[in-house]
Amino acid sequence: GLLMLSTEFFYRGFMLFGLDRLGKGAILVQAIPYAYVHLGKPMLEVYYSFFAGIVFGYIDWESKSILPSFLLHWTTSIIFDSLCILLS
C-alpha cells in the first residue's frame, strides 16, 4: 500500500493539484507521465495506466482528495496481482 500511496501523492497530490491553474486539463497532463513510467511493461498495462491516470485524476479532482484514487489503486492492484498468481 505504501507504493500506491506515494504514487498517488506524487501524481495526483503534487502534479494534479499543483497544476490546478490548468483547470481540468491538469487531469490529462498528470496522466501522461503516469503512463510513461509504465513503459517497458506490457503495452496493455501502459494503455491501462493512461486510462487509469485519467480516471484517478478525475475522481481526485472532483473530491479534492487523493484518498479515493489511493483506495482504488490499492484495490485494483490486489485484484490484478491475485489474478496473476491464480492464473499462473
- At residue 22, the pLDDT reads 97
Grid cell listed for 74: 490499492
44 with 30: CB under 8 angstroms?
no
Domain boundaries, the chain: 2-87
The CA distance from 38 to 28, in Å, is 16
- pLDDT for residue 88: 85
pLDDT digits (tens, 9 = 90+) for 41-78: 999 989 999 999 999 999 999 999 999 999 999 999 89
Q: Is the pLDDT of residue 9 over 90?
A: yes
Distance CA 85, CA 49 (A): 20
What confidence tens digit (pLDDT) does each residue in 19-41 have? 999 999 999 999 999 999 999 99
Q: State yes or no: pLDDT of 80 exceeds 90.
A: no
